[in-house]
């Protein structure tokens, strides 16, 4: 074996040992970093279904979400969320939104982004939809309200307003201001 081949062989050996050491040291720091982040004050869930009971202990509503995370404190943040009352509540409204935040006392749910509330047996027994970008929902007292612009569709009729109060158990809506409507006979 010539001196040149021995030098090339040694250089390759040093390069291989160096790359092995580099890969080994990088992978250890990744493991340490992951372990350091594993311990936190909150939690997260994917494809979650959360059940909530009323004061009597019976199922009141359920929440489905693609992602749930506990925020600082006890607030919970939801992505791609659907909220549905239980059949025993006899409130046929279904709420969908891009995001939702539940306060730590769980009395209020704030829905944001493409909020859609649907009732198949709505007003005048026609499919009823409420659309807005922001809605505060209080499921225990069957109430939803907003100061944002809302569009309400009842069958072929359409109403746009700024601000709304929905009393869900009474199947009643109160529009606050700037009410414009389109009614087809």
CATH top-level class of 44-182: mainly beta
148 contacts 130 by C-beta, under 8 angstroms: no
Provide the pLDDT confidence category of residue 90 given band limits of 50, 70 and 90. confident
| Amino acid 39: pLDDT | 43
Alpha-carbon separation of residue 174 from 123, 137, 139, 142, 164 (angstroms): 13, 15, 17, 14, 6
Name the CA radius of gyration of the chain, rounded: 28
Return the domain boundaries, the chain.
1-39, 44-182
> Across the chain, where does the E strand assignment appear?
44-53, 59-70, 76-85, 93-102, 109-119, 128-138, 143-154, 157-167, 172-182
Of residues 9 and 113, the one with the higher pLDDT is: 113
State the chain's mean pLDDT as an integer: 82
Record the pTM. 0.73
User: Measured at the alpha carbon of residue 95, what is the angle toward residues 93 and 101, in degrees to the nearest 5?
Assistant: 135
The whole-number pLDDT of residue 31 equals 40
Output the CA–CA distances (angstroms, integers) from residue 85 to 27, 50, 60, 82, 144, in the order listed: 48, 12, 6, 10, 13
Rounded average pLDDT over 10-22: 69
């Amino acid at each position: 074996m010539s001196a040149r081949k021995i030098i090339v062989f040694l250089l390759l050996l040093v390069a291989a040992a160096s790359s092995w050491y580099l890969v080994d040291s990088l992978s250890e720091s990744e493991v340490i970093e992951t372990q350091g982040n594993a311990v936190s004050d909150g939690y997260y869930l994917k494809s979650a279904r959360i059940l909530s009971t009323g004061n009597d202990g019976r199922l009141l509503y359920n929440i489905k979400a693609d992602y749930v995370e506990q925020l600082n404190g006890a607030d919970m943040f939801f992505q791609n969320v659907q909220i549905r009352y239980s059949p025993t509540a006899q409130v046929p409204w279904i709420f969908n939104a891009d995001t939702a935040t539940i306060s730590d006392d769980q009395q209020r749910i704030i829905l944001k982004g493409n909020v859609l509330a649907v009732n198949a047996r709505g007003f005048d027994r026609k499919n009823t939809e409420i659309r807005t970008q922001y809605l505060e929902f209080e499921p225990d007292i069957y109430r939803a309200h907003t100061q944002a612009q809302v569009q309400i569709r009842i069958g072929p009729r359409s109403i746009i307003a700024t601000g709304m109060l929905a009393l869900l158990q009474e199947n009643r809506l109160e529009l606050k201001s700037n009410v414009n409507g389109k009614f087809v006979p």
